[in-house]
Amino acid sequence: MARVIRRRKSRHTLKKQFSLQLTSLMDALMIIVVFLLKAYGISAMGVVHTDSLQLPTSTAPEAVGEGLVVIVAKDKIYVDAEPVLEFLIDYDQDGNVTEGGSKFQLPGSEIGSALSILPVFDALKKKRDDFEILASRTDKPEAAMKKWSGDIIIQADKEVPYELLRKIMYTAGLVGFNRFRLTVEKMVE
Amino acid sequence: MLRRPSSQRRTRTKEDIELLLVPILDTFVTLIAFLLAATSLLSVTLIDTPVPVVSATPPEIKQKPLSLTIKIELDRFVLSSPFNRIRKQNIDRVGDDQDFVKLHDALLAIKGKYPYEKQIVLMPSPTMEYEDIVKVMDASRRIEEGDPSLYVKEAVKDEFGEEIRDKSGSVVQEDRIVTDLFPEVVFGNILGGA
């Protein structure tokens, strides 16, 4: 008899509707989404941490910004994620990169003047021209032209020599970019 | 017996309303998965540096600027001012590394003399690695904990941003602690030169 009553009770319990309290879970998920959105905003600067691009670390205060991204990796220079120049790299007989070989060597003297780099100049000039064409097609071209910020975000590998950086900055200055924003990895304090 | 419409409405509001959170939850989970895939958890920041401008006409200034210049050579730092506002200093390399501590101390001493100066001109040698240049910027950016405190006189302003004056008409000033050393960095040899 007792067993029958227990069985009936358990059946009764199963039939009961139960609802999950999702509110606290929603709160937690909301916090995660906000955190990820913030991190996504920073990653919008397009930083890709690979073997060929290791940023230097710095104690500089946190800052985010916009601008045309120029990446100086160990093997190539990219302008707005498009490769524009490949460095000469020494390979050994097996096809591996020679240790202690030349780094960040520009291919040939015809690449530009002593201070500028021609392929980088062409790529940056094209970006500027694109902006000017777009601005000229707006209702108020003069006002649109004034929106040119001239900001350039330089993501350079930590081993890049200053000579190469200087050439890139000089080249960018020739095109009309007037503020360089050096991207660094924030040091954990 | 029929109830009045007003009482019927009242009865309806007493019912429990359950929000259907499951579809929102689904959206959130999808969003989190997308953000996790697209987000780099690397913490990066930016150091701004303007292009030095070459002006054909000399600026009208009463006093010659400090233009504190750090020449970064492979074996030493050379601190100088093109207008000889400070004594030229050499900070030699210690072992395998540059002496960033001594550089910071030297800059702190200069800041003590010129507390309103914020700009520094860097002139790295061509073979200097980018990482070492960033370290120089770090050493010259701010006054660290443990460094002696520096104060500057600053005008006291009211809630409308107007300077407060005393009875004699002179601006009331107060001491403000200086936290930055030389945060504005300009590369002095972009256009060439050593």
Share of chain B above pLDDT 70, in %: 83
Q: Tokens at residue A16, please?
A: 């009961």
Nearest CA in chain A to B27: A29
Same domain, A22 and A99: no
Residue B106: pLDDT over 90: yes
- How would residue A101 be classed by pLDDT, with cut points 50, 70 and 90? low
What are the residue ranges of helices labelled H in A1-53? 2-15, 23-43
What is the reported pLDDT for A42? 61
Q: Which of A58, A64, A165 sits opposite B47 (nearest CB)?
A: A58
Question: Among candidates A91, A125, A85, A124, which has minimal Cα distance to A108?
Answer: A85
Q: Which residues of B touch A74 (CB under 8 A)?
A: none
Question: Among candidates B162, B113, B166, B121, which has minimal Cα distance to B140?
Answer: B121
Same domain, A156 and A74: yes
Q: Tokens at residue B121, please?
A: 């001109």
Q: Which of A173-177, B5-9, B117-121 has the lowest average pLDDT?
A: B5-9
Mean pLDDT along residues B40-60: 73
Higher-confidence residue of B109 and A63: namely B109
Mean pLDDT along residues B60-84: 86
pTM, to two decimals = 0.76
Residue B187: pLDDT over 80: yes
Residue A98: pLDDT over 80: no
Q: Which residues of A touch B192 (CB under 8 A)?
A: 114-115
Residue B3: pLDDT over 70: no
Residue B73: pLDDT over 60: yes
Mean pLDDT along residues B69-75: 92
Same domain, A28 and A62: no
Same domain, A6 and A72: no
Domain that holds residue A56: 50-186
- How would residue B92 be classed by pLDDT, with cut points 50, 70 and 90? very high
What is the reported pLDDT for B131? 93
Residue A122: pLDDT over 90: yes
What is the reported pLDDT for A129? 94
C-alpha span between A46 and A49 (Å, rounded): 10
C-alpha span between A157 and A172 (Å, rounded): 18
Q: Are residues A158 and B130, on separate chains, in Cβ contact within 8 Å? A: yes
Domain count, chain A: 2
Q: Are residues A185 and B44, on separate chains, in Cβ contact within 8 Å? A: yes
The answer to whether A32 contacts chain B (CB < 8 Å) is: yes
Same domain, A58 and A134: yes
What is the reported pLDDT for A22? 81
Same domain, A54 and A38: no
The tens digit of pLDDT for each residue in A134-161 reads: 999 988 888 888 888 889 999 999 999 9
Same domain, A37 and A107: no
The tens digit of pLDDT for each residue in B13-49 reads: 556 777 788 888 899 899 999 888 877 667 788 888 8
What is the reported pLDDT for B35? 84
Calculate how close chain A gets to B89, using CA atoms only, in Å. Answer: 23
Same domain, A69 and A38: no
Judge contact between A137 and A110, C-beta under 8 A. no
C-alpha span between B86 and B80 (Å, rounded): 6
Q: Give chain B's domains with CATH numbers.
A: 69-146+179-187 (3.30.420)
Residue A12: pLDDT over 60: no
Residue B72: pLDDT over 90: yes
Same domain, A25 and A112: no
Higher-confidence residue of B62 and A129: namely A129
The tens digit of pLDDT for each residue in A36-87 reads: 887 776 655 666 667 788 899 998 887 778 889 999 998 899 998 899 988 8
A134 to A39, A147, B99: CA distances (angstroms): 31, 11, 50
Q: What length does chain B have?
A: 194
What is the reported pLDDT for B61? 64
C-alpha span between B137 and B132 (Å, rounded): 9
Q: Are residues B131 and A22, on separate chains, in Cβ contact within 8 Å? A: no
What is the reported pLDDT for A121? 92
This model of the complex carries an ipTM of 0.76
